Structure 1
Amino acid sequence: MAKLINQNLQAYRAQVDEIIKDLHELTIRIGNEELAQTVSDLRNRIHEPFMFVIVGEVKAGKSSFINALLDTGKEVARVAPQPMTDTIQQILYGEKEEHITINPFLKKILLPVEILKEIAIVDTPGTNTIVENHQQITESFIPASDLIVFVFEAKNPYRQSAWQFFDFIHADWRKKVIFVLQQKDLMPAEDLEVNMQGVREYADKKGIPQPKVFAVSAKQE
């Protein structure tokens, strides 16, 4: 999973970088120094890690999804019978593993994992447990994010709090969103397809044309 994302992001970056390079050369030729600086700053941003914000209800499988994405062979995001993520965790690349507490609601985890050179992951508390401070901090990450990953339990992707949070993100920030149905191995294939189609239709009604919906099992990926 991590290798595929890495390859796709590198190809996307190369295409966008070439376009912005041509635009930068154009701004120089027409002598617009202010615009040239703006385009130069934009080109530099392309090489920063893409920020993925992972959201979903408690026990939807967010932690398992993140661990599978990182593919380190150990639990970066803890998986347990009871809710574990009561802080926002920002997972970034670092030369050595470090856990840094910023405040009671925010923690940074630095890991020497190759995929984190391309992406940064923000793991949020469950949408059905977000308290006021959590929501304020979560909202501070949303505007800077490149992709919002909504993780649902495959057996029931219609829980109210996650879709309410989706409404907030889509209405106020218009961010790119994908939907992941986690724990697909716990239900029959035909029932899974019904729920995937249900999410597509539900998202389409909420203003996401041709929504991207994926079904995964972190234990199998």
Structure 2
Amino acid sequence: MSRYDTTLTKLTPPRLEGVYERRRLYNELDRLKRSPITWVAAPAGSGKTTLVASYLAARKLPCVWYRIDSGDDDPASFFHHLALAVKKRQPRTRRPLPSLRPEHAGDLVAFARNFFREVGRRLQAPYVLVFDDLQEVSEKRPLNELLCAGLTELAACIRVVLVSRAEPPRAFARLRANRSLACLDGCKLKLHEQESRAVARSLGVHKSRLPHVSQLHRQVEGWMAGLILLL
């Protein structure tokens, strides 16, 4: 895969063809928007990424999508690619976002605050900023602290959704304490039995097999990926 293709993948939401609309969870996400930052945490295969992308599509909300990977442990790479993501949505803005330079190394938190403050000037509600795959950030690396500092600057401007297989790390404790960050618990992403049946119907399973789907639902305990694999 070329560098261009890799960058495009980082900055593009997933395709949504034939996706089951999880309206129960859409309502949960609506409720959580009282806090400016939403953290969606659930195990792999729970449908977190698809849930957030389909929610934004259903609510017709424009977004900047950013998928975290191991390269983002380097702050320079992270801010460079995030600037590209914002530019992709606001191509007519001539003034570039701040670039991380060697002289900023002594105070990366101050740079992060300034960078996200500038992002907030470019992206206003109803825009949503999504960071996917946050479990790829090592807790010992500075990105969590930089994100916390930066997102504090965005709280009054736009909604932010963070998607991870893990609960928020300690760096986000203050945001949780002051109710700037609300969590959608992984247990809520488990399918209800009627939802498992609806998923099966959306995948073309004949109604005569629906009793079997109920059995599979109990077997996988509402795990989306497990259900789809067994259908």
* TM-score tier (shorter): 0.3 to 0.5
Question: TM-score, with normalisation over the residues of structure 2?
Answer: 0.34
Greater relative CO (CA pairs within 8 A, separation 6+) = 2
Greater helix fraction, Structure 1 or Structure 2: 2
Greater strand fraction, Structure 1 or Structure 2: 1
